[in-house]
Amino acid sequence: MTNAKRSVIDTRMITWVCGTGVALTLSLATLSYARFIQQVRREVATLLAQSDCGQDGVITDQMLEGLPEPARRYLAYSGVVGRPRVRTVYLTQKGRMRAGEQLPWLPLDARQWYSVSPPGFVWDGRLHLGPLPIARARDLYLHGRGSLAVRAAQAIPVADSAGAEMDQGAMLRYLAEMIWFPAALLEANVSFAPIDGRSIRVTLTDNGRSVSGTLHIDEAGRLLRFDAERYRMVDGGFQLCHWSAVVTEYGEFEGLKLPTRAQALWHLEKGDLPYFDVGIEELRYR
């Protein structure tokens, strides 16, 4: 065989091997992404199925009696009295998110499902760079456990976090996000302690664990901010940091006066780090 023929065969072999490798990589990535989507769907189905044990009925003035005055003012302003109890919630978000102080803000769109009794949520978010989706994340609180899964390029695993710190963080996220379904604050697993005329301590208990935060409410009854001590992921570990969810816009969904835009931020020694800024596009109760 001449050197020329051998060179042609070698080139064809290299091309075939490279092509096969690329095809195999793409197939595995597609399979991984499909499994991730199926996992999210199963988790949503589990979350919604467990909500059947929620209470029915209508919120009454009597249910607000005995609450600290700022809590009564907030719930009355929201308009929950006379409205049905909420069992599940579905909402969509659009906004922006960043993973750290030195990293850029990226456009975000997300869907989220909640169960009220027992408490839980599944959040499915997508980050974009221009028209291209560059990452997909699933945050979850279910059966008393929290976890976060992130896929770059929608397929490559870059984070799969679980454990006691994630449980605490997910529980606090759920408690803070009750601002979008405030009637859940009247469930038996929620308790209040007065602080002053414009703030109250609220505690959520679930699966033998409790988390607490502070609700700040203005004179009209609008919720302004939720503060708590929450675990933050730092360099592969966790640090307990001061954390806030701040309401930046109000509007109306499901006949209630609710926050329509909010921002989450960490209060660090070197200054505040806002990292999550979203508006609610759609919200539905069941």
Instruction: Give the bridge partners for 103, in sequence order.
Output: none
Lowest mean pLDDT among 17-31, 83-97, 115-129: 17-31
User: What are the counts of helices (DSSP H) followed by strands (DSSP E) for the chain?
Assistant: 3, 13
For residue 6, tell me if it sits in a domain: no
- Whether 46 shows a pLDDT value over 70: the answer reads yes
For residue 13, tell me if it sits in a domain: no
CATH number of the CATH domain containing 71: 2.50.20
How confident is the model over 75-94, as pLDDT tens digits? 999 999 999 999 999 999 99
For residue 181, tell me if it sits in a domain: yes
For residue 15, tell me if it sits in a domain: no
Torsion angle of the four alpha carbons 182, 96, 142, 186, in this order, in degrees rounded to the nearest 10: -10
Give dist(CA 173, CA 137) in Å, integer.
15
How confident is the model over 191-220, as pLDDT tens digits? 999 999 999 999 999 999 999 999 999 999
DSSP per-residue codes, 27-48: HHHHHHHHHHHHHHHHHHHHHH
Question: Which among 116, 61, 113 has a CA at the least distance from the CA of 83?
Answer: 61
Tally of domains in the chain: 1
- Token pair in block for residue 91: 């909402």
For residue 2, tell me if it sits in a domain: no
Place of tokens 């009925």: 57
DSSP E strands: which ranges in 35-131?
88-97, 106-115, 120-129
Q: Would you call 81 exposed, middle or buried from its count of C-beta atoms within 10 A (0-12, 13-18, 19+)?
A: middle
pLDDT band at 53 (very low <50, low <70, confident <90, very high): low
For residue 247, tell me if it sits in a domain: yes
Kind of pairing between the strands at 190-196 and 156-162: unpaired
What's the domain range around 262? Answer: 28-285
